[in-house]
Every structure is written in structure tokens, then in C-alpha cells.
Amino acid sequence: MVSRTDTIVVDTREQDPSTFSRLPSVRGTLRSADYLIRDLEELFGVERKSINDVVGCCVGDKRARLEREMHRLRGYRFKQLLIVGTEL
């Protein structure tokens, strides 16, 4: 049986959210991170970026936004920056 804690909350601003086969997921507006575990919001946070997002943040004008997002992740016990893409 899946408990309330075993639910992934996906930020509503995620344009192409990941899909999950082992746990249910719901959409919600999150203050920080793109993915959280319900009822463990203070402990667990994942920020998801595409390769293009990371490159744009490192060499473009979006660096300040990335720094703010990474700063907000500091409060989580488990924090992860997930970079998604395909190898060329």
C-alpha cells in the first residue's frame, strides 16, 4: 500500500516533467526544488536542469537564477541537481 509520504510532488512550472513508475506523483506549486517527497518537504529536494539550461546558466545571463536555486537547496538534508540530456 502506498502511503501519503510515498508520493512525489512535481512543481507545476516543470515544462516536461519526469515520469515515475514506482511511486505516484502529483503536481503542486513548490517554493524551491522541482521534485519533493510529500511530507518530507523539509528533508528532500531535487532541482532538475536540461543540459541546455546548465550551459545557459554558466555562460549566459541566467547564472543568478541558478545560484538562487542552488542556494535554496542548501536547506535540504538530501539535495540533488539532476542534469538530464542525451549523449551526442
CATH number of domain containing 73: 3.40.50.10130
Domain total in the chain: 1
Tens of pLDDT, residue by residue over 9-52, are 999 999 889 889 999 999 999 988 999 999 888 888 999 988 88
Rounded Cα gap, residues 15 and 19, in angstroms: 12
What range does the domain containing 47 cover? 4-84
Burial of residue 39 (number of CB atoms within 10 Å: 0-12, 13-18, 19+): middle
Structure confidence at residue 6 as a pLDDT band (50, 70, 90): confident
Rg (CA), the chain: 14
Side chain identity at 87, as an amino acid letter?
A: E
Answering whether pTM is above 0.85, one says: no
